[in-house]
Structure 1
Amino acid sequence: MERAVQLLAMVDQFGGDGLGVSELARRTDIPKSTVFRLLHTLENSGAVERRGEHYRTGPLFGTHLALPDDPLVAKVQTRLTPFLSVLYEQTRETSQLGVLRDGELLFLNKLHGVHRAHSPSRIGGRAPAHATSLGKVLMAFDRESADRVCASELVAFTDRTITDGEALRVELAKVARTRIGVDDNEYVEGVSSVAGVVMDAAGRPVASLALTGPTTVARAGYEQLLLDVCARASAAMRD
Structure 2
Amino acid sequence: MHTPSDVQIDPNTVLGKVVTVLYAFTVDDHGLSLAELGRRTGIPKGTLHRLVSDLVKVRLLDRTQAGYRLSGQLFELGMRASTERSLIEVATPFMEDLYERTHETVHLGILEGTEVVYISKIGGHRQARSPSRLGGRMPLHCTAIGKALLAYSDPEILERVLAEPLERRTPKTLSGPGLLRAQLERIVDEGVAYEREESAMGITCVAAPVLDPDDRPIAALSVTGPVARFHPERHATSVRAAAAGVAATLARRARMSEPE
TM-score (norm: length of structure 2):
0.63
Q: What corresponds to 2:241 in structure 1?
A: 228
Aligned to 1:200: 212
Residue deviations 1:155-197 (CA, integer Å, cap 9, x gap): 1011110111121111101111111111100000001110011
1:77 CA drift (Å) = 1.7
CA 150–218 in structure 1, closer or farther in 2 if over 3 Å, else same: farther
Aligned-residue sequence identity (percent) comes to: 31
Matched, 1:89 2:100: yes
CA distance in 2, matches of 1:179, 1:202: 15
Partners of 1:67 and 1:108 within 8 A in 2: no
The residue type equivalent to 2:124 in the other structure is G
Rounded Cα–Cα distance in structure 2 between residues aligned with 1:69 and 1:145: 27
Alignment of 1:151-230 (within 5 A): 151-215=163-227, 216-230=229-243
SS of residue in 2 equivalent to 1:221: helix
Equivalent of residue 135 in structure 2, options 124, 130, 133: 124
User: In terms of Rg, which structure is larger?
Assistant: 2
Aligned equivalents of 2:204 and 2:152: distance in 1? 21
Supply the AA of the counterpart residue of 1:185: E
- Contact 1:115 1:214 (C-alpha < 8 Å) held by counterparts: no
In the alignment, structure 1 segments of 5+ residues that lack a partner are 1-44, 46-58
Deviations 1:191-234 (A, max 9, x none): 11100111123321101000001014344510111111111111
Alpha-carbon distance in structure 2 between the residues aligned to 1:68 and 1:111: 18
Structural mapping, 1:37-186, within 5 Å: 67=78, 70-142=81-153, 143-186=155-198
SS of the residue corresponding to residue 166 of structure 1 reads helix
CA contact (8 A) 1:132 1:183 kept: yes
Whether contact under 8 Å (1:137, 1:180) holds in the other structure is yes
How far is 1:69 from its partner?
6.3
**Kept after mapping to 1: 8 A contact 2:152/2:215:** no
Contact 2:141 2:166 in 1 (8 A): yes
Which stretches in structure 2 are left out of the alignment for 5+ residues?
Answer: 1-63, 65-69, 254-260
Q: After superposition, what is the alpha-carbon deviation per residue over 1:138-158, rounded to whole angstroms, capped at 9, x for unaligned?
A: 111113322221111111011
CA contact 1:83–1:233 (8 Å) conserved in 2: yes
Aligned counterparts of 2:106 and 2:235: Cα–Cα separation in 1: 12
Paired residue secondary structure (1:73): helix
Deviations 1:28-59 (A, max 9, x none): xxxxxxxxxxxxxxxxx9xxxxxxxxxxxxx9
1:114: how far off?
A: 4.5
Q: Is the 8 A contact 1:182 1:218 kept in 2?
A: no
Amino acid at match of 1:79: V
In 1: Cα distance, 2:171 partner to 2:134 partner:
26
Query: Which residue in 2 is equivalent to 1:4?
Result: none
8 Å CA contact 1:133, 1:194 repeated in 2: yes
Q: TM-score, normalised by structure 1?
A: 0.69
- 1:94-135 per-residue CA deviation (whole Å, 9 max, x = no partner) reads 100001101100001111134331112111111111000000
**Matched positions, count:** 178
Match of 1:202, SS state, is coil
3-state secondary structure, aligned to 2:169: coil
- Does the C-alpha gap of structure 1 residues 136 and 69 become closer, same or farther in structure 2, counting only changes over 3 Å? farther
Residues 206 and 233, structure 2, Cα contact 8 Å, conserved in 1: no
**Does the 8 Å contact 1:180/1:195 carry over to 2?**
yes
Alignment check: 8 A CA contact 2:205 2:232 kept: no
SS at structure 2 position matched to 1:222: helix
Q: Does the 8 Å contact 1:97/1:110 carry over to 2?
A: yes
